[in-house]
Amino acid sequence: MDVLGEEVVVATTRVETMLGDTAVAVHPQDQRYQHLRGKSVLHPFTSRLLPIVFDEFVDMSFGTGAVKITPAHDQNDYEVGMRHSLEFINIMDDSGLLVNVPQPFLGMKRFEARKAVLQALKDKGLFKEIKDNPMVVPICR
């Protein structure tokens, strides 16, 4: 994502949800990002300006230390969104089809959108790399 010609690199395990991002979060003590206080980044697909918020939720020793925030699609992001009064953009309907997103992603199935967003990032020269990232996925019973 771009802020005044400067790049802010964020990592994600669910790239398709970036279409519902409403902020980028960094840790308040992370010296790498202090110069971005009060600034915003430009979303590469929606042209939304996403504020850079400073929140202790972010683990500054993990990845780039910058986290995309999608309040409508992640519990942790929801909590960050509430703390910072962020917009909540639901990008999936009950069938897992994308809604409230720009073309060409509108109406795509979730995993189809994942591939399409990844390819679109590559086409724009914004894709960096894929890394294995072990994670815990909660399961409802």
3-state secondary structure 61-119: CCCCCEEEECCCCCHHHHHHHHHCCCCCCCCECCCCEECCCCCCCCCCEHHHHHHHHHH
pLDDT of residue 134: 56
pLDDT of residue 138: 58
pLDDT of residue 49: 95
CATH number for the domain including 65? 3.90.740.10
What token pair was written down for 74? 């992640």
Flag whether 115 is in a domain.
no
Flag whether 69 is in a domain.
yes
| Domain, as residue range, for 58 | 2-89
pLDDT of residue 50: 96
pLDDT of residue 47: 86
Q: Which residues of the chain have pLDDT under 70?
A: 1-4, 132-141
Flag whether 82 is in a domain.
yes
Flag whether 77 is in a domain.
yes
pTM of the model as a whole? 0.87
